[in-house]
Amino acid sequence: MLEHVTDLHKIVSEVVRILRPDGLFLYDTINRNPLARLATVTIAEDVLRLMSRGTHDPQMFIRPRELRAAMEGAGLVPGPVTGLGPRGFNRRFDLTFGPLPLTAILYMGVARKPALAGGDRPC
């Protein structure tokens, strides 16, 4: 859903606010570049009609370095990032998705909220 928010920094700050110390933030989103636009808007929405037209605004897609900066700025510690995409079909011929080596179109990752100093627990 990150590619649908108007204020990424505000959303990430809210994630940090409600996340427990040492908690994990798991995400997936769409990279902002011409290839991602082609795949998610032109092909998925316009040609294959996997989603309604207008579902995505390519200007709201997020480059990995932008998301990393937002997470670090809010106090999260970014972890590994990997690509995400179609990996095949299931028995009903629906696309299945999973990790891929390239982050050019879709990517997913994890970030951790640091534990409280001295092992203190929140009230």
Q: What are the boundaries of each domain within the chain?
A: 2-115
pLDDT at 86: 85
Helix, strand, coil % in the chain, rounded to nearest 5: 35, 25, 35
Task: Check pLDDT > 60 for residue 96.
Answer: yes
Q: How does pLDDT run across 7-40, given as a tens digit for each residue?
A: 999 999 999 999 999 999 999 999 999 999 999 9
Distance between CA atoms of residues 97 and 112, nearest Å: 24
pLDDT at 122: 55
CB atoms within 10 A of CB 116: 12
The mean pLDDT value for 96-118 works out to 92
Task: Look at the alpha carbons of 67, 71, 73, 79 in this order and tell me if their dihedral is positive or negative.
Answer: negative
User: In CATH, what class is 2-115?
Assistant: alpha beta
